[in-house]
Amino acid sequence: MRPDRLADLAIFAAIASETSFTRAARRLGVTQSALSQAMKRLEAQLGFRVLARTTRSVAPTAAGERLLATLSPAMAGLDAEIEALSGAPGAAIGTVRITTGKHAADTVLWPMLPSFMRCHPGIEVELSVDDSMTDVVTGRFDAGIRLGERLEKDMIAVPVGPPLRIAVVAAPGYLNDHAAAMKPADLTGHRCIAYRAANGDLSPWSFERDGHSATIVPGRGPVFNDGDLLVAAALEGFGVLYILEDLVAAQLADGRLVRLLEPWCEPFAGYHLYYPDRRGTAAFELFKDALRAGGAI
């Protein structure tokens, strides 16, 4: 829309509301001649008349009434939004778009988001929960949160949240029929409940102990792409499960699951906030500050 047309439409709405060029001119602080010129220009651009004028009155034409039915609510909404934004001088506005996995969303982001959104009502937050590795540039995200080893080298990566730890677990009933694994290689003799990543691969099981590392690809067991189903399958005794420790803390505490290979499950650096090497928007900078204030960065 041409800038002058928007101004002329606002003048038309004022004249229609006042049903008078004189009163509209007084309300807008301009001359009646200026209003007349604006209406001539608008009607010439539109190709139809919007006002019916007589020597004693002015009123919208039928076409003008139809135009007002759309124009008036739009103008009122625009005025209300401007008033809302100007009501908090200096308040940040904008949108922050973050991509993350489900576990990071629950443990890192959600604990700080309610407070952040209340403190910054002008900032719209969009959180996309997806366990696949998302390209933040292509997806038009401000940032993502993922485990550090999965990040591209051209991204700025800042640790967020506490260190994480893996737990290898099985149900007591399963262990009644299978000897407990004492080292990672022993898992080749067990049924393993595996996670299918978004790229189609089975997530490998990595271990570390006193500087020695081992990685196995799980097999010979059920495969899921949902954390709740992984835990449910382990509780039912369908095999050994490799999962983040906090996701089975309750089941370990009450004995429904038993831990294996604990010495091989050392803590590791957890999630990272990653974003392109460029200055973010004011809204995104406030988002990072909120993570930092919450002890996440």
pTM: 0.67
- Tens-place pLDDT, residues 215-253: 998 878 999 999 999 999 999 999 999 999 999 999 999
- Tens-place pLDDT, residues 101-122: 999 999 999 999 999 999 888 8
- Tens-place pLDDT, residues 40-94: 999 999 999 999 987 677 899 999 999 999 998 888 888 776 665 555 555 678 8
Asked whether 22 and 61 are in contact (CB, 8 A), the reply is no
Please compute the mean of the pLDDT values over residues 280-292 and round it to a whole number: 87
Asked whether 141 and 134 are in contact (CB, 8 A), the reply is yes
Instruction: Report d(CA 190, CA 183) in Å as an integer.
Output: 12
Instruction: Report d(CA 128, CA 148) in Å as an integer.
Output: 19
Kindly list the domain boundaries of the chain, sorted by start residue.
Answer: 3-86, 94-162+270-293, 166-264
Pairing mode of beta strands 258-260, 166-170: antiparallel
Q: How far apart are the first and last CA of the chain?
A: 45
Cβ contacts of 189 within 8 Å, gap of 6 or more: 178, 179, 181
User: Is residue 295 over pLDDT 60?
Assistant: no
Q: Which class in CATH covers the domain with range 94-162+270-293?
A: alpha beta
CATH topology of 3-86 equal to that of 166-264? no
CATH architecture for residues 166-264: 3-Layer(aba) Sandwich (3.40)
Question: Which residues on adjacent β-strands are paired with residue 209?
Answer: 212
Tokens 């919208």 identify what position? 60
pLDDT of residue 157: 87
CATH assignment, 3-86: 1.10.10.10
